[in-house]
Amino acid sequence: MIPERELAQILNVSRSSLREAFKVLEVIDLLEMKPREGTFLKEPSISSMMKLLPMMLLVKNNEPHRELYEIRICFETFAAKLAAERRTEAQLKQMEKHLEVLRTSHNVEELIQADINFHRSITEATGNSLMIAVMEVIAGLMQYSVEYFKTTHLERDPNYNAIASLQHDEIYQAIKAKDVKLAEDKMIIHFEYSYIKLLKEND
């Protein structure tokens, strides 16, 4: 790429703003920044596009939380059903690992990642490669949404995390027991709890 100073002048932005944009593009694997060598464009890949899509959706969407919950209710309820049918012992152990963090941690960042990873692990247990790929897009959107809910509702309701953690555990127990109907029901209850809070907030 052309030198940073020259590009900043062309785009009429500060060099600090340009560097921040470069960091984002590097995270989504579209740029490579090499010390003392410069900044290089990378060939777009499926992985980089999957990382970029959630950012594009959030920029265009005025109601990202509501719309994300609506799609997650449909998608993850079915994922829970398939997971209850197909999960392996190794996949259950992955779910347990994330649940342990949700039960014991008081660090908001850890709780956010454990929440996302727990839901991701359920989709991985479906064994459906296309669903797993779609979940990566959803997980990218969840980063913003889960962070919003954890930081907002933990301040307003000290019991929020305990209730959500219990709901996660009930989903896990249903999947472990291979109870397809119960896994579906528990996932719906989990989403309705947060969704109702969101609707009340927007009234």
Which residue would you say has higher pLDDT here, 126 or 21? Answer: 126
Q: Above 80 in pLDDT, residue 176? A: yes
pLDDT confidence tier of residue 202, bands split at 50, 70 and 90: low
- Span 47-202 CATH architecture: Up-down Bundle (1.20)
Copy the structure tokens of residue 137.
């897009």
Closest C-alpha among 84, 191, 100 to residue 142? 191
CA distance 143 to 131: 18
CA distance 132 to 117: 12
Give me the amino acid identity at 162: A
The alpha carbon of 195 is separated from its chain's Cα centroid by a whole number of angstroms, namely 16
Q: Please, what is the average pLDDT of the chain?
A: 82
Give me the amino acid identity at 102: L
Which residue would you say has higher pLDDT here, 36 or 144? Answer: 36
Q: Above 80 in pLDDT, residue 49? A: no
Residue 141, pLDDT score: 74
Digit-coded pLDDT (tens) for 132-169: 988 887 887 777 677 766 666 665 677 778 888 999 99
Q: Are 167 and 145 in contact (CB under 8 A)?
A: no
**What's the DSSP call for residue 32?**
E
CATH code 1.10.10.10 region(s) in the chain = 4-43
Residue 54, pLDDT score: 60
Q: What class is the 4-43 domain? A: mainly alpha
CATH code 1.20.120.530 region(s) in the chain = 47-202
Digit-coded pLDDT (tens) for 86-125: 999 999 999 999 999 999 998 888 888 899 999 999 999 9
Residues β-bridged to residue 1: none
Provide φ and ψ at 128, rounded to 5°.
Answer: -95, 110
Residue 94, pLDDT score: 97
Residues with Cβ < 8 Å from 199, sequence gap 6 or more? 66
* Residue range 48-67: mean pLDDT, rounded: 61
Q: Are 125 and 155 in contact (CB under 8 A)?
A: no
Q: Cα dihedral angle (10, 12, 15, 21), rounded to 10 degrees?
A: -90
Residue 9, pLDDT score: 85
List of E strands, the chain: 31-34, 38-41
Please state which of the ranges 52-61, 65-74, 85-94, 121-130 shows the lowest mean pLDDT: 52-61
